Chain A
Amino acid sequence: DAKTTQPTSMDCAEGRAANLPCNHSTISGNEYVYWYRQIHSQGPQYIIHGLKNNETNEMASLIITEDRKSSTLILPHATLRDTAVYYCIVKAHNFNKFYFGSGTKLNVKP
């Protein structure tokens, strides 16, 4: 599976958009980008995933660059409840498992 690189931590003001970057420069053409988040002491929560096109759901938007070497998770209006560790994961085409890195600790501040 391709490796991902994320900042260790980020701050965001409540009500503002949170933009979380992820670098996956070695991604292959058939590998998907997934985002999960983990609020303290809970199990990881699925947020969104995509292959090539930008994706949006009720939780977030995923922007994947044209060369697919990086992506950005956007939380449009961050709330205090969005404080969590966010994991960007690249999943291989023929594997049904995730390799989690260290993630980004997002701190949403009032």
Chain B
Amino acid sequence: DAGVTQSPTHLIKTRGQQVTLRCSPKSGHDTVSWYQQALGQGPQFIFQYYEEEERQRGNFPDRFSGHQFPNYSSELNVNALLLGDSALYLCASSLVVAGEALAKNIQYFGAGTRLSVL
């Protein structure tokens, strides 16, 4: 049973460019969340997709956008890259269970995509 997979593992871009990161959730999961982790810090929540819609969003500018496909996989897009966007981008998947508190929802993380902006 494959876990959460992310691609690519590493990426180098220059300022002003655009980037797309991809995530395949764990088998059976329907929700994908994206996090940004700067060096030496804990992950920061970007947004979450469920039923192909953005459901929750953290404090990130609209340069950060995403998409969820019918097979539950997801993409994270970042436009007009800044040096400060250099980070490890993590995808986490989970399964929403009807009638169950969202707080009980365990998220499983992928290994991440390391983005370097030069």
Interface positions of A (Cβ within 8 A of B): 30-32, 34, 36, 41-46, 49, 87, 91-103
Q: Is the CB of B111 within 8 A of A43?
A: yes
Q: Is the CB of A102 within 8 A of B103?
A: no
Interface flag for B2 (CB, 8 Å) = no
Q: Is the CB of A96 within 8 A of B106?
A: no
Interface flag for B56 (CB, 8 Å) = yes
Please give, as numbers and ranges, the residues of chain A lying within 8 Å of B43 by CB-CB distance: 44, 98, 100
Among A32, A44, A101, contact of B90 (Cβ-Cβ < 8 Å):
A44
Q: Give the CA-CA distance A96 to B88 in the complex, in Å.
A: 21
Q: Is the CB of A42 within 8 A of B111?
A: yes
Q: Is the CB of B102 within 8 A of A100?
A: no
Please give, as numbers and ranges, the residues of chain B lying within 8 Å of A94 by CB-CB distance: 101-103
Q: Is the CB of A45 within 8 A of B109?
A: yes
Please give, as numbers and ranges, the residues of chain B lying within 8 Å of A99 by CB-CB distance: 45
Q: Is the CB of A96 within 8 A of B48?
A: yes
CB-based closest 4 A-B pairs: A100-B42, A43-B109, A96-B102, A32-B103
Q: Is the CB of A97 within 8 A of B45?
A: yes
Q: Give the CA-CA distance A99 to B37 in the complex, in Å.
A: 12
A93-B107 contact, Cβ under 8 Å, with A43-B90, A100-B44, A101-B42: no
